[in-house]
Amino acid sequence: MAPAAWLARMARNNFTGSGGMRMTAAGFSRWRAPDKPRPMTYSIPAYQVAAFYQFAALPDFRALREPLRALCAARDLKGSVLLAPEGINGTLAGSEVGIADLVDALQRGNLFGGRLDHLDVKYSPADAIPFRRLKVRLKKEIVTLGDASVDPTQRVGTYVDAADWNDLIADPATLVLDTRNAFEVAMGTFEGAVDPGLKSFGEFKTFTAQKLDPATHRRIAMFCTGGIRCEKASAYLLAHGFAEVYHLKGGILKYLEGVPETESRWRGECFVFDERIALGHGLRRHGI
């Protein structure tokens, strides 16, 4: 096609070049500012999920069950809460206001009388409530290890903030242990972490007896989803002669929330025990 004919065709088609130039039969016309890009829209999550726990002496845990259930129901919260003599462990979802009100009641309200003033809480957004109902259950332990001699209310390992975790686990002298179940580890874990191959947390005792040695493994750093399992595991190791024991404060969820993905040593997704299934960096739901 001749150049003049090509230009005429472009003009008829009202062709606009990539830089905002408009083609005419005479060639390029004057600069025209490109169309403004459409503003990006973001949906604000309608609900909030709070995962919380604290090891605390609750000898009256049976009497706390119904008042706690009433506190949650009055705020239209759904999820699961465990109460035991050693403390509280739960994940609840609802409105941001309802969640904030409940957390304040747990930490400063009359029901627990200040015994949950060190409650560990992690928040994440949700487009829908990932639970179908509210359950408040009584247990012997808030996380089952099956060793009554272990008391995390008395002694636990050294907490490590998410910002300091990378340096600790990058040290070759540190044995990094994932204290979660094997199917959780398969979805994601930290670089270089050892998978004990647990089917349940109670098997951590057998793993320790068979695979760990206080004389050989002088520095151990452990992690889990929200911090509760590795905190109890740290108490168990200290009770069995391991001198230098660390655990990730707030667990994987706190790490994924606060550590930039570009600096992360986490690989994969973090399994969570609700309908969201798995979360990634920024606590974004898997696949979003």
Q: Which residues are catalytic?
A: 224
How far apart CA 224 and CA 226 sit, in angstroms, is 6
How far apart CA 242 and CA 214 sit, in angstroms, is 5
Return the SS3 of 218: coil
Residue 251's φ and ψ, nearest 5 degrees, are: 70, -165
Tell me the two tokens of residue 28. 């390029």
Roughly how many angstroms between the first and final C-alpha of the chain, as a whole number?
48
Task: Return all residues near 101 (Cβ < 8 A) that are at least 6 apart.
Answer: 75
Residue 79 β-bridge partners: 92, 134
158-160 and 244-248 beta bridge pairing: parallel
Closest by Cα among 179, 212, 178 to 192: 178
Closest by Cα among 223, 121, 236 to 180: 223
Closest by Cα among 108, 100, 51, 54 to 75: 100
How far apart CA 149 and CA 230 sit, in angstroms, is 17
Closest by Cα among 65, 91, 87, 88 to 77: 91
